[in-house]
Amino acid sequence: MIRKFLMYTLLILSALVLFFPILYAISASFMQPKEIYAGELFPSSISFDAYKEVFDSIPLLHYLMVSFIMSFMVMVGQLVISSLSAFAFSFIKFKGRDLIFFLFLSTMLIPWEATIIPNFLTILNLSWINTYQGLSFPFFALPFGIFLLRQHFLTIPQELWESAQMDGCSRFKFLIRFVIPLSKSSLSALGIYGFLTTWNQYLWPLLVTNDDTVRTVQIGLKMLIANESSSSWNMVMAAVVAILLPTLLLLFFGIKHIREGLTAGALKG
């Protein structure tokens, strides 16, 4: 009994501390500027003025849309390319396969930031500044994704492929009909991973976007902070809450799957 009580106390305390920044952001987004100055913890009354103001002054929904499209593109790109490559590495036994696989694997050691200067110049020379392809293409090939899927594909018995072959099934059909459906959990984990990391991108969108057409929420928020005077923190917090809402909701609904997928990745990776 005492132990249970202790556990709950610890749980509640940790939850409060951990969730405090988000709670406070929500609280501040409902405040009046005067209450912000006074350093209040709670607003005296709920006011949606800050939300109205922020949606009027910056195209926040548009930013969200851009982030969604970009993250979605990267997610799909990574899934397709990783599946194709992982399939080659697990079901096509060609000469030099292990060497190429090792080469791919070793690129996991290259931090993306180390290549950012030439990548920027590439995008600039292709005139891909302010475009979705400029934002997303550099992230389509993900060695980690190839590795993760290959690990899973290898658990699919080769006999399955042999018998499918006897039924006149082509390689590509086999990939679509059997391998993909059998690897749903890994694909989901990879998809979520790709989506969230892209959603989180900061440096790259900062470099390759110059106007609102393809500005992501992250950069939009940075511009908002730079643009607003110190009196508008309630507005900035309203923007933060609006940006957090979609991802937090996704997380709350999808937490179980994310956990399963990521754990699988961690254990096999």
Partner 1 sequence: MQGGKARKVRKSGYHNQKKLFGIGMLYLLPAFVFLGVFLFYPMFKTLYFSFFEVGGNGQVGEFVGWDHYIELTKSEEFRKSMKGTFLFVLYTVPAEIIIAFFLAVLASEKLKGIGFFRTIFASTMGVSVAAGATIFLFLFHPSLGVLNNILGMFGIDGVEWLTSSDWALFSVAMTTVWMHLGINFIILLGGIQNVPDELYESADMDGAGYWSKLFKITIPLTSPVIFFVTIIALIGAFQTFGQIDILTSGGPAGATNIIVYSIYQEAFQYGNFGFASAQAIILFLIILVVTIIQFKYGEKKVHYQ
Partner 2 sequence: MRKFWGCFVLMLALILTLAACSGDGAESLDDGDGGEDADGKKNITFWHAMSGSNGEELEAIVDKFNEQSDSVHIEAIYQGSYDDSLTKLRAVGGSEEAPALVQVFEIGTKYMSESGFITPMQEFIDADDFDVSGLEENILSYYEIDDQLYSMPFNTSNAVMFYNKDMFERVGLDPENPPSTFSEMTEAAQQIKDEEDAYGFTMATIGWFVEQLLANQDALYLDNDNGRSGDATEALVNSEEGLKIFEWLQEMNEAETFRNYGSDWEDPRGPFFAEQVGMYLDSTANVAEVIKNSDFEVGTAYLPVADGMEPQGVIVGGASLWITNQVDEEDQNAAWEFVKFMTNADIQAEWAAGTGYFPITPAAYDEQVLKDVYEEYPQYTTAVDQLEDTTVTPAIQGALTEVLPEARKIIETALGEMYEGKDPQEALDDAAQKINDALE
Binding residue for partner 2, selected from 25, 59, 180, 262, defined by CB under 8 A: 59
- 215-234 residues in contact with partner 1 (CB under 8 A) are 217-219, 221-222, 225, 230, 233
Is residue 221 a contact partner of residue 60, using CB atoms and an 8 Å limit? no
Min separation Cβ 164 and partner 1, Å: 14
Partner whose binding site includes residue 100, from partner 1, partner 2, none (CB under 5 to 8 Å by kind): partner 1
Partner whose binding site includes residue 94, from partner 1, partner 2, none (CB under 5 to 8 Å by kind): partner 1
Q: Is 79 in the site for partner 2 (CB under 8 A)?
A: no
Q: Is 141 in the site for partner 1 (CB under 8 A)?
A: yes
Residue 251 φ/ψ, nearest 5 degrees: -65, -45
Min separation Cβ 188 and partner 2, Å: 6
Q: Residue 49: how many CB atoms within 10 A of its CB?
A: 15
Is residue 121 a contact partner of residue 157, using CB atoms and an 8 Å limit? no
Partner whose binding site includes residue 137, from partner 1, partner 2, none (CB under 5 to 8 Å by kind): partner 1
Residues 154-183 as x/- pattern, contact with partner 2 by CB under 8 A:
------------------------------
d(CA 229, CA 225): 8
Closest among 265, 261, 258 to 147, alpha carbons compared: 265
Angle at 267 between CA 266 and CA 269, to 5 degrees: 60
Give me the helices (H) in 154-269, please.
158-166, 171-174, 180-182, 184-199, 203-208, 217-227, 233-268
Min separation Cβ 18 and partner 2, Å: 23
Q: Is 116 in the site for partner 2 (CB under 8 A)?
A: no
- 85-114 residues in contact with partner 1 (CB under 8 A) are 85, 87-88, 92-97, 100, 104, 107, 109-114
Residue 128 φ/ψ, nearest 5 degrees: -105, 10
d(CA 197, CA 242): 19
Residues 236-255 as x/- pattern, contact with partner 2 by CB under 8 A:
----------x--xx--xx-
Closest among 107, 75, 106, 101 to 86, alpha carbons compared: 101
Partner whose binding site includes residue 55, from partner 1, partner 2, none (CB under 5 to 8 Å by kind): partner 2
Side-chain half-sphere of 110: how many Cα atoms within 13 Å? 11
Question: Residues in the site for partner 2, rule: CB under 8 A?
Answer: 37, 55-59, 61-62, 64-65, 68, 72, 120, 124-125, 127, 129-130, 184-185, 188, 207, 210-213, 222-223, 226-231, 246, 249-250, 253-254, 256-257
